[in-house]
Amino acid sequence: MREKLSLDKQLLEKQLFWIDISYNECTKIGVKDKYSIDEFGKFETLCSRYSRGIDFLIRKMFRTLDEYEFENQGTLVDVVNNAHKRGLFENIETLRIMKDVRNTIVHEYIEDELVEVFEEVLEYTEQLIKIINTTLQYIENIK
């Protein structure tokens, strides 16, 4: 189990690396009414990385922590509640919104409507980075 935790931690660090790169690029671009093709591409990449990051964090990392700490393998709600009890994030409602933003990205096929999500993605990517860093620190402390 320790090996699985270490492997998942490495994968989470890799997720963070790529999310951070995209976040920094998009922060420099900022929120606009109209984007160049290059700018839109960078935001689209951030959206993809944000979505994968949220999924990996909740569905993989939080579940791995439950296994490692011998928690019951319950529903996704149980996994999120356990992560909250560990102090990995401050507000369950914020995490729910972050997941909703992910769902919007994944189900948005029209370019103009995806642009409407960019501001939220910037805001919640900052939160995601904090949660990932807190989770990585937590893992270091329990190993």
Question: How confident is the prediction along the chain (143 residues), in pLDDT tens digits per residue?
Answer: 889 999 999 999 999 999 999 999 999 999 998 999 999 999 999 999 999 999 999 999 999 999 999 887 789 899 999 999 999 999 999 999 999 999 999 887 666 678 889 999 999 999 999 999 999 999 999 97
Its pTM stands at 0.93
What is the predicted pLDDT for the residue at 116?
A: 85
What is the predicted pLDDT for the residue at 73?
A: 75
Q: What is the largest CA-CA distance in the chain?
A: 49
Classify domain 2-142 at the CATH topology level: Four Helix Bundle (Hemerythrin (Met), subunit A) (1.20.120)
Closest CA to 59 of 8, 127, 18, 104: 8
What is the predicted pLDDT for the residue at 109?
A: 62
What is the predicted pLDDT for the residue at 1?
A: 86
What is the predicted pLDDT for the residue at 112?
A: 67
pLDDT digits (tens, 9 = 90+) for 97-128: 999 999 999 887 666 678 889 999 999 999 99
Closest CA to 62 of 48, 74, 46, 50: 74
Calculate ∠ Cα 6-12-17, nearest 5°.
130
Q: How far apart are CA 47 and CA 90, in angstroms?
A: 23
